[in-house]
Structure 1
Amino acid sequence: MARLYLIRHGRPSSTWGGHDDDPGLDEAGQAQARAARDWLLSRPQIERPGLVVSSPLRRCRETAEPTAAALGVPVEIDPVVGEIPTPKSLSAEQRPAWLRQAFQGTWGAIDGDMDYDAWRSDIVASLAQRANTAVFSHYVAINAAVSRLLGVDQVLAFRPDHTSITVLETDGETLRLVEKGAEAATGVL
C-alpha cells in the first residue's frame, strides 16, 4: 500500500469569520509550511510523496508550495479536498455559528442544503486514488476523512493542528488510517 499524507494548512493571517474569506498564511503559518515540507522530505524514499495536491483556497496553496517546489512538481488543485460547503442561504457572518453548531453533532445532522455524509464519502474516494501524495486541506475536510475511516458519525473525530500531518495508506481503491496528525490544544482558530 502506498502512503498518502493529509496536511492541514498553516496558520492563516485571519481566522474564519474574519474579513478576508480567503486569507493566506501569516509568518508563523509560513514557517509551519516549511516545517511540513522538511518532515515530508525526511521520509524514507519509498514513503516520500511525489505529488502535491491542494484545496483551491489560498492558505492551503501557500502551505503546499514549499513542498511542491522542493519536489519540483506543480501544485494540483482539487476542490474535493476544499472547505466544507456552506449553505447558500448563509452569509459570511453566519458561517462561524453554523460551523460551531455542525461541530457539535453528526454528519447526517448538519443543517444545510446538501448531503454532508455524501461529501465526506467523496473526499475519501478521491483520497483513495492518490498514492504517494501530499494533500493540503482543511480542518473539517480532514475530519470528514478521518471520521469515515474510524467508522464514527461525529463531525469532529479529532482536532488537527495547523500543518498536522495525518498518515494514510491506499491501494488505489481503499484507504486506511495509519496515524492521526498532531492535535491542537485549542479549538479551531
Structure 2
Amino acid sequence: MHQILLIRHGEAAKSSTDADPGLTERGQQQAEALADRLVREFQDGVGVRLISSPKARAIQTAVPIATRWKTQIVEDPSVIEIPSPQGMPLKERSRWIRNLLNSQWDSLTPTQVQWRKGITDRLRQLYSSAEREPFHTTLVFCHFMVINSVVAAIRHDLQVAQFHPDYASQTRLALNEGKLIVKELGQEKSSDNLIQ
C-alpha cells in the first residue's frame, strides 16, 4: 500500500494581476513549520517522493522539506490549480471560484473535466511507480480545488466543496492496487478567505 499526502500550499500573496503569486511571509513560516512536522514523521525522507504543482506557491511550500532532505521536487502539471473558463480575466477568477464551491462537479467545462480526470489518473499511477522505485509515500504539494476534486472523486460525491483544507494541511490517502482511499482529511481553514 502506498501513502499519498495531498498538501495544500501555504498562504499566498493576493493579487488580481499576478497569475502566479508566491508565498507571503506567513506562508513561508507555514512551509517551515510543515517541514518540521514532516521531519518528525519521516526523519531523513528515505522512501518519500516530492511532487508539486508548477505554481510558485506550491513549489515554495515544498522547498523547505526538499532542502532538509536534499531531494528534488518533481514539478507535475497534472496537480495544478483548476483552469479558469476560457477568456475569463484574472481579476474575475476569485469570484468564479467562490461560486464554483457551491456547485457540482458535473457543471465543469470539458477542459476542467479533463483537468479533474488527469489528477486522479496521475495519483493512481503512483502505485505502479512505487513498485518500480523504492517509495512508500508521495507528498503532493497542490491546491484547494485539487484536494477537493480528489476527495469528491473517491467519495463519488458531486458537491465541489467537500471541505476547506487549511494552508499547509495534509490530507492523507492510501493507494492500494490503483484504488484511492481517504484515510484522513487535512485540518480545515476557519477564515472566510478559503481560496488563494
Q: TM-score, structure 2 length as denominator?
A: 0.86
In the alignment, structure 1 residue 7 sits paired with structure 2 residue 13? no
Which residue number in structure 1 is paired with residue 87 of structure 2? 89
Structure 1 distance, partners of 2:47, 2:93, is: 34
**3-state SS in 1 of match to 2:100:** helix
Which residue number in structure 1 is paired with residue 121 of structure 2? 125
**3-state SS in 2 of match to 1:80:** helix
Which residue number in structure 2 is paired with residue 157 of structure 1? 162
Which residue number in structure 1 is paired with residue 112 of structure 2? 116
Contact 1:170 1:176 in 2 (8 A): yes
- Out of 76, 79, 83, which is 1:78 matched to? 76
Q: Look up the equivalent residue of 1:32 and give its one-letter code.
A: Q
1:144-178 deviation line (CA, Å, top 9, x unaligned):
00111122111100000000100111135121111
RMSD between aligned residues:
1.9
**Higher helix proportion (structure 1 or 2):** 2
**3-state SS in 1 of match to 2:171:** strand
Which residue number in structure 2 is paired with residue 68 of structure 1? 66
| TM-superposed deviation, 1:118 | 4.2
**Aligned pair count?**
184
Change (3 A) 1:4 1:49: farther
User: Which sits farther off after the overlay, 95-104 or 114-123?
Assistant: 114-123
**3-state SS in 2 of match to 1:42:** helix
Which residue number in structure 2 is paired with residue 144 of structure 1? 149
Structure 2 distance, partners of 1:129, 1:38, is: 28
Which residue number in structure 1 is paired with residue 99 of structure 2? 101
**Where do 4+ consecutive residues of structure 1 move more than 3 Å?**
115-118
| TM-superposed deviation, 1:19 | 2.7
| Aligned pairs (5 A) from 1:11-90 | 11-14=11-14, 18-43=16-41, 50-90=48-88
Contact 2:17 2:91 in 1 (8 A): no
Q: Look up the equivalent residue of 1:59 and give its one-letter code.
A: R
- Out of 158, 176, 180, which is 1:175 matched to? 180
Structure 2 distance, partners of 1:69, 1:76, is: 13
Contact 2:28 2:61 in 1 (8 A): yes
Unaligned stretches of 5+ residues in structure 2? 127-135
1:51-74 deviation line (CA, Å, top 9, x unaligned):
111101000000011111122211
**3-state SS in 2 of match to 1:170:** strand
Unaligned stretches of 5+ residues in structure 1? none
Q: Look up the equivalent residue of 1:167 and give its one-letter code.
A: R
